[in-house]
Amino acid sequence: MAHGPRTIGVIGGMGPEATILLQRKVLGAIPARDDADHIPLMIDMNPQVPSRISHLIDATGDDPGPTLAAMARGLQDAGCAALAMPCNTAHYYSDEITRAVSIPLLNMVELAAQYARHTVGKGASVGILGSPASRKIRLFERAFEAHGISAIWPDCDAEMIMAIRQIKAGGPLPKARTAMMQASLELVKNGAELQFIACSEFSLIAQSVAGGAPVMDTLDLLAQAVVDFSIAP
């Protein structure tokens, strides 16, 4: 029996600009001629989710997990068929989210691991342009190792934290762009065969990478997964 596109729930607000960017990417992925051609999104834009950096790096902030689980339940209760969360680091709490609901979470980190396996193959080294919080918790390593892929990071945690905080506060300013460019160049030097833009703040400065380096934005992978799930037969 034919059905319309499924509604996807977005666990958003981390940060607000990244959530809006996901919506733009999803809109751009649909060859729409009319409003009804687009897929339905239900967005819980909650900038009050406790800071992932404060919780995971500074060890001073509240645990975001219960808030994220409550948002997931609300979206499920509202009729969403699947969930998307445009924050890489927040995927540390993905188990807590999936335990709270019966609908799937389109996992951005696992999507990245699958893309790397299909693109550069088992045994490859893949660079991560992401939050030092993700590095500390080995978020990508856990997913990549299951596919036989090594994750490598630039050695500039302080600069990357500065860039993330600057983008959240003032947008994509030149210092943030410079920090990401330098990190990307370091990954090239260290042998990365592919680089992931793996922080949704960095998605706002996605062009600030080493020239000629193969790069994929995890937010693009998530946007395509949202579309594919919504319109699947």
- Mean pLDDT to the nearest integer, 20-29: 95
> How is domain 8-107+221-231 classified at the CATH fold level?
Rossmann fold (3.40.50)
Q: What does 128-143 look like in DSSP terms, one character per residue? A: EEE-HHHHHTTHHHHH
Structural domain boundaries in the chain: 8-107+221-231, 108-218
Checking if the pLDDT of 160 tops 70, the result is yes
Q: Is the peptide bond before 15 cis (omega within 30 degrees of 0)?
A: yes
| Local confidence band at 15 (pLDDT 50, 70, 90 cut-offs) | confident
For residues 141-156, b (16+ Cβ closer than 10 Å) or e, as one string?
A: bebbeebebbbbbbeb
pTM, two decimals, is: 0.94
Q: What Å distances lie between residue 167 and 45, 102, 175, 199, CA to CA?
A: 18, 34, 10, 11
Q: Do the domains 108-218 and 8-107+221-231 match in fold?
A: yes
CATH class of the region 108-218: alpha beta
Per-residue model confidence as pLDDT tens digits over 104-133: 999 999 999 999 999 999 999 999 999 998
